[in-house]
Amino acid sequence: MKSFFLALLKSRAGLFGFVLVAVFVLAALLAPYLGLPVPTRSNLVARMAAPTWTGLFSPGAHPLGTDELGRDILSRIVYGSRVTLTIATAAVVLGGIVGTLLGIVAGYYRGMVDRLLMRIVDIQLALPLMLLALLVIAALGPSTTNLVVVLALTSWLRYARIIRGQVLALREREFVLSAHAIGAGTWRIMIKHLLPNVLTPALVIATLELARIIIMDAALSFLGLGVQPPNPSWGRMLADGRVYISTAWWIVTFPGVAILLTVLSVNLLGDWLRDYFDPKLRTMR
Amino acid sequence: MNRYLAVKLGEALLAIWGVVTIVFFVSRVLGDPAVLLLPVGADQQEIDALRISLGLDRPILEQYAVSMFAMLRGDFGISFQHTRPAMDVVLERMPATVELAGTALLFGTLIGGAAGAVAALKRGTISEFIVMIAALLGQATPVFWLGIMLILVFSVDLGWLPTGGSGTIAHLVLPGLTLAVFVSASIARLLRSSLLDIMREDYVRTARAKGLMPRTVFFWHIARNALIPVVTMIGIIAGELLGGSVVIETVFAWPGVGRIIMQAIQAQDFPVIQAGVALVAAIFILINLLVDLLYGVLDPRISRQ
C-alpha cells in the first residue's frame, strides 16, 4: 500500500487525476455544507446573470452566473455531480460485478457456456451502445434505476471479454490445478482462487469505464432521457442552455467544463492505475 | 482461408439475427403505436381496427415469425409515420451519415495517425507532451459539448459557418471537425502506446543491429505490427460513426441515420426502428469482417491458423 502511494506521488499525471477526483468526490459529498444557494430555487430578478468574481463570498454572488430561471450555475453543477457520480458509480459497480463473474464462469467452464456468452457479446457489440441505451430507456422509461441498468448493460461485456481471457490462462496454472487436485469445488476455485487474481484488471477497466459512463450519462440526459427535472444534471443543463447560446454563453459552457474535468481526471487516474498494475492491458480496450 | 471466411460470415449472420430479435422484442415494450397514430379522442373501435390492419392483434410470436420472414426478403414493413417502406426512410438518410462519418474518419485518422507517430518517435520531447495533452483533452471532451462550443465561436461570435443543417461544404465543417477531434484523440493515444510497445521488441533490435535503414525498420518491422490494434480501433469507430452519432446529429440538425432512428423510437415507429437498427448492425458487422480480413494481410499468421 505504501509503495502504491509512493508511485502515485511520483507520477505527475496520476497524482493530478487522483487529487482532482478526490476534490470532486468531496465536493459532491459535502455539497449541502458548502454554503451554496439552493440549486433548484429560481430567482427571476437575477435571470441569466453573467459570472461575477467580485464579492465572491457575499450571499448573492454567482461566480459562474445564473441560468434562464436565475438558478445559480455553480450550485447546480455541484449538486449535479452528486447525481452523475452516484449513477455512474452504481452502473460501474453493477456492470463490473456481472461482467467479472460472467468472464470467470466463461473462462473456467469453456465449451458451450463460453461460446454462448461470447456470441451474446458479439451480438451486443454489433448494436451501437447509444442506440441500445436509447431503445431500452425509451422502453423502460427514464428513471434513475433504469439509467443505472442501461449504463451497466453497455459496460459488462468489456469486463467479461478481458477477464475471460485472463481466466483461460489462469486455470492452467499450478495453484488452480492443485486446488482442483485436492478436491476443491468449482465455486471455491472460482471465488477463492480465480477472483482475487482478476480483481486488478477489473479495477483498471472499472476506472476507465467510469469515464466513459459519465460521458454517456451526460449524452443521455442531453437527449432528455436522463435524470428528470427539477434535479440538476449536467447533460440537461447543456441541452437547456443551448437555446440561450447567443445571449448567455456561460449557461452552456460551464456544465461542459465540469464533465470535461471529471472525465479527464478519472481517465488520468485510470491510465496510471493500468500502467502501474498491468501495462499489458494498454492495447486491449 | 475459405473456411475462416465461412465461419466469420456465419457468425456475422448470427449476430444480425440476434440484434434484430432483441430489437423486435424491446420495441414491442415501447407502447401501442395504434394509439399514437390516431388523433386524440379516437374511440376503441377505431384503435382496434387500426391494430388489426397493422397486424398488431396477432400473438407476439406470430408477429415475430412473420416479420423475420419478411425481413429475409428485404421487406421491413411500412413506416407508421411516413407511410412508406421503412427501409427507404432509413436508406434516404444514409448518404448524409456516410458523408459526415467519412469526413470525420478521414481527417481524424490522418491527424491522429501523424500525431501518434510523432509522439512515439519524439519520445520525451515537447512535441510528445503537446500531443499527449491534446489527445487527453480530446478524449475527455464530450463531443456534443465540443460541438456547441464550436457553434458558439464560429457561428454565433464570428458568424463564419452555419449553426446547423446540411447541404453545402460549410455545413459539413463543424460537425465533421467535432467528430474528427474525438477520432484523432483516440487514434493518437493508441498508436503511440502501440508503437512504443513494438519498438521494445527483440526483433526490432535485431533489425537495427543487422544494419537496416531506420526507415525500413520503421515501416516494415514497427509500423506494420503497431497498426493491428489501430486498425481494430478504426473499425470500431467507423462502425459507430456509420450508425449515426445521435447526439452530434441532434446538435447540428444533421439529417442522418442516428436521428431518424431516435425520432422513430420517440414516435414508436416499429418498422423504422427495426429497419434502422438492422441496417446499422449489418454495417457494423461488415466492417468488423473487413477488419478481420485486414488482420490477415498485416499479420499472415492469423489467417493461416
Residues A260/A15, Cβ–Cβ less than 8 Å: no
User: Of A177-186, A231-240, B48-57, where does mean pLDDT reach its minimum?
Assistant: B48-57
Picking from B254, B256, B104, the residue whose alpha carbon sits closest to that of residue B185 is B104
**Mutation site for A-interface testing, chosen from B26, B148, B242 by largest number of A Cβ within 10 Å:** B148
Give yes or no for residue A69 having a pLDDT over 50.
yes
Tens of pLDDT along B88-98? Answer: 888 888 888 88
Specify the pLDDT at position A285.
41
Q: For residue B137, give Cα distances in angstroms to A18, A68, B285.
A: 16, 29, 30
Tens of pLDDT along B237-265? Answer: 888 788 767 888 888 888 888 888 888 88
User: Of A57-61, B73-77, B111-115, where does mean pLDDT reach its minimum?
Assistant: A57-61
Give yes or no for residue B27 having a pLDDT over 90.
no
* Cβ distance of A256 and B152 shorter than 8 Å: no
Other C-beta atoms closer than 10 Å to the C-beta of B167 total 10
Specify the pLDDT at position B151.
86
Separation of alpha carbons A65 and A241, rounded Å = 12
- Chain B residue numbers touching A252 (CB-CB < 8 A): 145, 148, 152
Separation of alpha carbons B44 and B35, rounded Å = 9
DSSP B5-47: HHHHHHHHHHHHHHHHHHHHHHHHHS--HHHHHSPTT--HHHH
Picking from A278, A283, A121, the residue whose alpha carbon sits closest to that of residue A202 is A278
Peptide linkage before A230 cis (omega within 30 of 0): yes
Give yes or no for residue B283 having a pLDDT over 80.
yes
Residues A194/A104, Cβ–Cβ less than 8 Å: yes
Specify the pLDDT at position B108.
92
Specify the pLDDT at position A98.
93
Tens of pLDDT along A250-285? Answer: 878 888 888 899 989 988 888 888 777 765 655 544
State percent of chain A over pLDDT 70.
89
Query: What is the mean predicted confidence (pLDDT) over B270-297?
Result: 82
Contact status of B266 with chain A (Cβ, < 8 Å): yes
Give yes or no for residue A93 having a pLDDT over 90.
yes
Strand partners, A66: A72
A269, closest residue in chain B (CA to CA): B136
Q: Which long-range contacts (CB under 8 A, 24 or more apart) does B149-152 make?
A: B149/A253, B149/A256, B150/B174, B150/B177, B150/B178, B151/A245, B151/B251, B151/B252, B152/A245, B152/A249, B152/A252, B152/A253
State percent of chain A over pLDDT 90.
5
Burial per residue of A201-218, b for 16 or more beta-carbon CB atoms within 10 angstroms, e otherwise:
bbbbbbbbbbbbbbbbbb
* Cβ distance of B11 and A122 shorter than 8 Å: yes
Min distance A158 CA to chain B CA atoms (Å): 14
Between A52 and A22, the more confident residue is A22
Which cell numbers hold the place of B33?
403505436
- Chain B residue numbers touching A77 (CB-CB < 8 A): none
Separation of alpha carbons B246 and B60, rounded Å = 30
Contact status of B156 with chain A (Cβ, < 8 Å): yes
Give yes or no for residue B304 having a pLDDT over 70.
no
Q: At A60, is the pLDDT very low, low, confident or very high (cuts 50, 70, 90)?
A: low
Question: Residues 97..136 of B with a Cβ closer than 8 Å to A: which?
Answer: 136
Contact status of B44 with chain A (Cβ, < 8 Å): no
CB pairs under 8 A between A and B: 135
Average pLDDT of chain B is: 82
Average pLDDT of chain A is: 81
DSSP A188-224: HIIIIIIHHHHHHHHHHHHHHHHHHHHHHHHHHHHTT
Specify the pLDDT at position A284.
46
A130, closest residue in chain B (CA to CA): B246
Give yes or no for residue A91 having a pLDDT over 90.
yes
* Cβ distance of B273 and A263 shorter than 8 Å: no
φ and ψ at residue B233, rounded to 5 degrees: -60, -45
ipTM for the complex shown = 0.79
Other C-beta atoms closer than 10 Å to the C-beta of B51 total 17
Q: For residue B18, give Cα distances in angstroms to B23, B31, B32.
A: 9, 22, 23
- Range ranked top by mean pLDDT from A110-119, B99-108, B113-122, B146-155: B99-108
DSSP A242: G
Specify the pLDDT at position A282.
53
